[in-house]
């Protein structure tokens, strides 16, 4: 009976060896507004505002071993995967919370006020100032003022 189980244990050990070798060694440093990923082949820096989402991919074996693959998707559509991450659930939670906070801050940030000159053609602001001066002095009537104003407004 022991002789028959030896190949089964051998396959299991080969499977664990394959999982171990599949894991990439990296350091993930999470800062307030950025992620710093140090890989053997170099370093990558991502800002939180450029991230779209972080997903956790786990098979049933990964769940039992408490490992998983992190898939980071940027707003530009590129994806970075990190297989073999130990205890990945807190990492995913922290990064996703940071993404939500940055998005909320962007929504709260006041939008720049549109100036009156943005609706005019180039060089139109000076002409409009002259036109308003003439209109205020009574040198041109309301109809002429509106007609000239339409000529210099963007369509």
Structure token digits, residue 30:
């999470």
Question: Are 55 and 92 spatial neighbours (Cβ–Cβ below 8 Å)?
Answer: yes
Q: For the chain, list the domains and their CATH numbers.
A: 25-108 (2.30.29.30), 119-152 (no CATH)
Does residue 84 or residue 89 have the better pLDDT? 89
Q: Residue 54 CB: number of other CB atoms within 10 A?
A: 21
Closest CA to 88 of 107, 114, 63: 63
pTM beyond 0.75: no
Contact 82, 69 (CB under 8 A): yes
pLDDT band at 121 (very low <50, low <70, confident <90, very high): low
**What is residue 21's predicted lDDT score, i.e. its pLDDT?**
54
Structure tokens at 11: 């396959």
Q: How many CB atoms lie within 10 A of CB 142?
A: 8
């Amino acid at each position: 009976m022991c002789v028959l189980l030896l190949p089964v244990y051998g396959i299991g050990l080969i499977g664990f060896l394959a999982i171990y070798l599949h894991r990439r060694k990296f350091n993930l440093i999470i800062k307030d507004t950025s992620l710093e990923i140090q890989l053997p082949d170099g370093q990558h820096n991502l800002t939180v505002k450029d991230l779209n989402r972080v997903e956790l991919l786990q098979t049933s074996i990964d769940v039992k071993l408490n490992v998983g693959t992190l898939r980071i998707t940027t707003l530009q559509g590129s994806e970075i995967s990190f297989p073999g991450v130990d205890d990945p659930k807190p990492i995913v939670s922290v990064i996703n919370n940071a993404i939500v906070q940055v998005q909320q801050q962007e929504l709260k940030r006041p939008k720049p006020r549109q100036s009156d000159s943005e609706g005019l053609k180039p060089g139109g602001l000076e002409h409009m100032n002259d036109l308003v001066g003439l209109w205020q002095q009574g040198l041109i009537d309301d109809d002429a003022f509106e007609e000239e104003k339409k000529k210099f407004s963007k369509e």
